[in-house]
């Protein structure tokens, strides 16, 4: 029996605006049934498109068994369950960076996350280790908001504005950025941060300078600074679309933190109104959100923290407690499954997973693993030597924090 596979043009005709929300259901389906597949990497062999979930599972497990200890799979918490089940290690970007750095035997690291994470894994692992991203279309909209050329240009303008003032600016780049920006930071006495350790990187920066240039997520930078007692009017936003970032020399001189105008599209979905609704419908509810949410959402929530902190907070909470969570839906659903003695739900009622994390589908995992079985390395993420050198400096500064 021959399986008829639609052409790309037929897919485009069938699906309307696939990037708005990649799914209205988290039910496992074949790749051809994925609502947003039309916008993903299209060079996967067409034989993989219609393979059923159960068959993909069988083939992935067979390939893993064949590869044995040569292979380590890292899985970010935002991955769907049918992907995370294969991970040897799970975590947020910081924890997975630590796991990548600790690999001493593996020949291959399969990173079930997004592109900037795979780059960091390549930087932190031994040079001979091959890091593979199942779907090269799994990027990050936030990272894309910080174009390296625009960041370099902003740095030049900021340093020119501050010339003769005696101020020293220390750059901090969020893990959600390209390797080239991590290298840029490493060369300028700066450091990489994650949502787990952002406050500690502020300590690092203020020990070496009196201002921070924070990119690409303005919300994490603002929420971190505010929690440390920095007034909102001393944290200014650099709008990369405007001359001089839309700021005056006086604003830059007065600022303690200069924030890049970037954000996470997933965490921007959460609102104060959603929190108010949760409290009205669930008296006594606990609200915790990710610090990539807007400042007013973090203030309304009362509790905020990294992915790892959210997991620990909910897991350690008393039986019978109720939790409304402002972060990616796959993680929230997994927490609800792992904590049946509590009520756990997402603040956003729309089932909308991170659109780029969602691009890691079991079909891509089967494709790249079966390639390894046959001696072919597919979708390798490789950082050039010069970028690797200075990126490693910035990442090692982060990993060395207490």
Q: Which domains does the chain have, with CATH numbers?
A: 8-16+26-138+356-382 (3.40.50.10800), 143-265 (3.40.50.10800), 267-346 (3.40.50.10800)
Of 121, 160, 149, the closest CA to residue 253 belongs to 160
Note whether 119 and 178 are within 8 A (CB): yes
Q: Given this model, what pLDDT does residue 96 score?
A: 87
Judged by DSSP in three states, 40 sits in coil
pLDDT score recorded for residue 380: 97
Cβ burial 379-401 (10 Å sphere, 16+ → b, else e):
bebebeeebbebbbbbbebbeee
Kindly report whether the peptide bond that precedes residue 216 is cis, defined as omega within 30 degrees of 0.
yes
Contact 287, 324 (CB under 8 A): yes
Please give the pLDDT value at position 250: 97
Look at residue 1 in the predicted model and tell me its pLDDT. 29
pLDDT of residue 40: 81
Whole-number Å distance between alpha carbons of 96 and 98: 5
pLDDT at 21: 60
Rounded to whole angstroms, the Cα distance separating 220 from 196 reads 11
Tens-level pLDDT at each residue, the chain (402 residues): 233 333 333 333 333 333 456 655 567 889 888 877 867 877 899 999 999 999 999 999 999 999 999 999 999 888 989 999 999 999 987 788 889 889 888 999 999 999 998 999 999 999 999 999 999 999 888 988 999 999 999 999 999 999 999 999 999 999 999 999 999 999 999 999 999 999 999 999 999 999 999 999 999 999 999 999 999 999 999 999 999 999 999 999 999 999 999 999 889 999 999 999 999 999 999 999 999 999 999 999 989 999 999 999 999 999 999 999 999 888 999 999 999 999 999 999 875 677 788 899 999 999 999 999 999 999 999 999 999 999 999 999 999 998
Residue 272 pLDDT = 98
Residue showing tokens 């905020």: 304
Of 226, 48, 276, 249, whose CA–CA distance to 163 is shortest?
249
- Nearest to residue 249, comparing CAs of 147, 171, 165? 165
User: Cα separation of 303 and 105, whole Å?
Assistant: 40
Say what the pLDDT of residue 33 is: 87
Helix (H, G, I), strand (E, B) or coil at 211: strand
DSSP 3: P
* CA pair distance 214, 217, nearest whole angstrom: 8
**Looking at residue 23, what is its pLDDT?**
55
Instruction: Give one DSSP letter per residue of 56-113, joined into a string.
Output: HHHHHHHHHHHHGGGEEEEEETTS-HHHHTT-SEEE-HHHHHHHHHT-SS-SEEEEES
Q: How far apart (Å, rounded) are the C-alpha atoms in residues 256 and 231?
A: 9
Taking the alpha carbons at both ends of the chain, their separation in whole angstroms is 60
Q: Give me the helix-helix angle, 385-399 and 93-101, nearest 10°.
A: 110
Burial group, residue 191, by CB count within 10 angstroms (0-12, 13-18, 19+): buried
Neighbours of 316 (CB within 10 A): 8
Q: What is the pTM of this model?
A: 0.87
Q: What local confidence, expressed as pLDDT, does residue 216 receive? A: 96
Taken in order 192, 134, 336, 100, the sign of the CA dihedral is negative
- d(CA 178, CA 323) in angstroms, rounded, equals 34
The DSSP code for 272 is H
| Structure letter (DSSP) for residue 37 | G
Residue 49, CB-side half-sphere exposure with 13 Å CA sphere: 20
Alpha carbon distance 96, 73 (integer Å): 10
């Amino acid at each position: 029996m021959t399986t008829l596979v639609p052409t790309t043009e037929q897919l485009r005709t069938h699906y309307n605006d696939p990037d708005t929300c990649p799914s209205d259901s988290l039910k496992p389906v074949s790749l051809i049934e994925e609502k947003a597949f039309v916008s993903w990497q299209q060079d996967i062999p067409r034989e993989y498109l219609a393979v059923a979930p159960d068959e993909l599972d069988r083939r992935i497990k067979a390939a893993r068994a064949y590869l044995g200890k040569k292979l380590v799979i890292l899985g970010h918490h935002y991955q769907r369950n049918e992907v995370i089940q294969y991970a040897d290690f799970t975590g947020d970007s910081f924890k997975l960076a630590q796991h990548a750095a600790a690999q001493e035997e593996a020949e291959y690291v399969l990173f079930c996350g997004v592109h900037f994470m795979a780059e960091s894994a390549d930087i932190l692992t031994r040079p001979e280790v091959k890091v593979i991203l199942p779907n090269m279309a799994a990027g990050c909209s936030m990272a894309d908001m910080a174009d390296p050329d625009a960041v370099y240009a902003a740095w030049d303008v900021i340093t020119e504005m501050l010339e003769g003032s005696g101020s020293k600016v220390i750059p901090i780049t969020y893990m959600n950025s390209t390797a080239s920006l991590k290298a840029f930071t490493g060369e300028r006495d700066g450091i990489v941060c994650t949502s787990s350790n952002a406050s500690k990187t502020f300590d690092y920066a203020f020990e070496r300078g009196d201002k921070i240039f924070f990119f690409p997520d303005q919300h994490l930078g603002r929420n971190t600074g505010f929690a440390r007692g920095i007034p909102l009017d001393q944290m200014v936003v650099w709008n990369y679309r405007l001359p001089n970032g839309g700021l005056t020399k006086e604003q830059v001189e007065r600022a303690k933190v200069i924030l890049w105008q970037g954000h996470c599209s997933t965490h921007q979905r959460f609102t104060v109104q959603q929190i108010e609704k949760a409290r009205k419908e669930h008296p006594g509810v606990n609200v915790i959100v990710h610090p990539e949410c807007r400042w007013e959402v973090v203030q309304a929530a009362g509790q905020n923290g990294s992915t790892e902190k959210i997991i620990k907070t909910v897991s350690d909470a008393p039986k019978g407690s109720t939790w409304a969570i402002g972060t990616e839906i796959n993680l929230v659903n997994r927490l609800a499954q792992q904590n049946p003695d509590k009520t756990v739900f997402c603040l956003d009622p729309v089932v909308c997973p991170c659109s780029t994390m969602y691009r890691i589908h079991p079909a891509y995992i089967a494709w790249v693993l079966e390639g390894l079985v046959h001696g072919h390395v597919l979708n390798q993420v490789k950082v050039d030597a010069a970028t690797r050198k200075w990126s490693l400096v910035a990442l090692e500064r982060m990993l060395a924090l207490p």
